[in-house]
Amino acid sequence: MESVPHVDDDRYQVEAKVGEGAIATVWKALDRVTGQLVAIKLMRINRMLPETVQRLAQEVEVLRRLQHPNIVGVVGAGTAQDTGAPYIVLEWLDNVSLRFYLQRRRQPHPSFILNIVSGVAHAMSAAHEIGVVHRDLKPENVLLCGPDRNHVKVVDFGMAKLPMELARLVTLRSTLFGTPQYMAPERAKGQPVTPATDVYALGIITYEMFAGQRPFEADEASTLLRKHVYEPVPPLPSVSPAVETVLLEALSKNPMQRPSAQRFAIDLQKALCSSSE
């Protein structure tokens, strides 16, 4: 059984492990100073490589700059006293991921889809304004919070592209990381990342919510990336032509032809309203 970590001179009363991934484990804890619950993201000892440690440091720096209601908040950071593993302390969220939700529900209602798109768009607009590009938007990184699961929070900025002043503090190798199913054509081709890269990923998420499946699938990552670059987006007969047009704009192969995140959300709202009339 994994032992409870010792963090920050016992400021945090660690209660239980609530999640784990390849790089880090997540613990529920009580902040004795504020009386609030927090989530502690603690790096695994066997994953304490220079690049993964840098990614955790990057996430802290980005979240400190991005205080937004649709982005998970950071409380602090430190190093575990017993193992030396770095950790970050995040606001506690009563949540399920969008991935979890979609796996257990049938076709979401258009109003649900619009709420997701609007929440993510607000978060990405705030990030893009300060020069941050998420680079790994996907349903796993979109959380549905609150008793009604209607408040959206974007998480995991460990792979984000940083503005120049932060990039000087955190240096990551230039490698093709991320999730191929949501990767924009320009990333597959090794071209520069821009806010339009996040818009494409949001477009894939939106397509998936409407269609029940992603537009492009393949067993091999290289094949999947070629589809993003060269294949047209499959038609969506389940939505109106107006909604399909908005989606196709977000999924344009040319990043210069995609709308901003906020414009995409506004256009989708207009298209859904016109379809219901």
DSSP for 32-54 reads: TTT--EEEEEEE-GGG--HHHHH
Q: Is 10 a catalytic residue?
A: no
CATH code at position 229: 1.10.510.10
Domain with 28, as residue range(s), is 8-91
* pLDDT of 125 strictly over 90: yes
* pLDDT of 118 strictly over 80: yes
pLDDT value of position 53: 83
Q: Are residues 113 and 215 in the same domain?
A: yes
pLDDT in tens, 45-87: 877 788 788 888 888 988 999 999 999 999 999 988 888 889 9
Query: Whole-number mean pLDDT of the chain?
Result: 90
Higher pLDDT, 92 or 44: 92
pLDDT value of position 59: 87
Query: Domain end: 46, 70, 91, which one?
Result: 91
Mean pLDDT calculated for residue range 26-41: 94
pLDDT in tens, 262-276: 999 999 999 999 877
- What order of strands is seen across the sheet that includes strand 86-91? 12-20, 24-31, 37-43, 86-91, 74-79
* pLDDT of 239 strictly over 90: yes
pLDDT value of position 20: 84
2 domain residue, yes or no: no
Task: Look at residues 74, 91, 95 and name the one whose alpha carbon lies nearest to residue 145.
Answer: 95
Q: Are residues 147 and 251 in the same domain?
A: yes
What confidence category does residue 175 fall into, taking pLDDT thresholds of 50, 70 and 90? low
Q: Model-level pTM? A: 0.92
Q: Are residues 66 and 146 in the same domain?
A: no
DSSP-derived letter for residue 85 is: -
Catalytic residue among 136, 156, 198, 267: 136
Q: How far apart are CA 6 and CA 79, in angstroms?
A: 9
Is-contact 117 202, C-beta < 8 A?
Answer: yes
Task: Look at residues 3, 2, 129, 145 and name the one whose alpha carbon lies nearest to residue 66.
Answer: 129
Strand stretches in the chain, DSSP E: 12-20, 24-31, 37-43, 74-79, 86-91, 95-97, 142-145, 151-154
Q: Are residues 72 and 182 in the same domain?
A: no
Q: Are residues 16 and 138 in the same domain?
A: no
Mean pLDDT calculated for residue range 154-168: 77
Mean pLDDT calculated for residue range 30-56: 87
Task: Look at residues 202, 211, 200 and name the one whose alpha carbon lies nearest to residue 252.
Answer: 200
Is-contact 137 202, C-beta < 8 A?
Answer: yes
Q: Are residues 201 and 120 in the same domain?
A: yes
Q: Are residues 120 and 80 in the same domain?
A: no
pLDDT value of position 164: 66
Is-contact 24 12, C-beta < 8 A?
Answer: no
